[in-house]
Amino acid sequence: MKRAVALRAICCNGETTGPVEPPTCSTPLVGALSSLVNERVTLEISSVLEPTITGVLSFVGTDYVVVVEDDLAVTFVLVSQIETVTPL
């Protein structure tokens, strides 16, 4: 049986202000996030639409992270949008 997976991208604060510049180098936040891969976390992000994402952190890149939420939605979040990270 196949299961449908929803993909969402949280990349801006709901405004169309042009492209978002990714970080040019690895930041301390990326290092901290890398230590939390496969852990359940809550991310507070600078987004008007959805300010909090909770789920399992499954991937950390230099400019974005992937979180699998409880409802199996796969969410991509830009590192530049992350304000705080709380391990659960």
Each residue of 65-88: pLDDT tens digit? 999 998 999 999 999 899 999 999
What's the DSSP call for residue 80?
G
Domain coordinates in residue numbering, the chain: 7-11+27-87
**In whole numbers, what is the pLDDT of the chain averaged over residues?**
79
Kindly tell me the burial class for residue 29, based on how many C-beta atoms sit within 10 Å of its own C-beta (0-12, 13-18, 19 or more).
middle
Out of 2.30.30.100, 3.60.21.10, 3.10.129.10, 3.40.50.360, the CATH code matching 7-11+27-87 is 2.30.30.100
More confident residue, 20 or 36: 36
pLDDT single digits (tens) 24-62: 445 688 888 999 999 999 999 987 778 999 999 999 998
The predicted model scores a pTM of 0.70
User: Which one, of 56, 26, 62, lies nearest residue 43 by Cα?
Assistant: 56
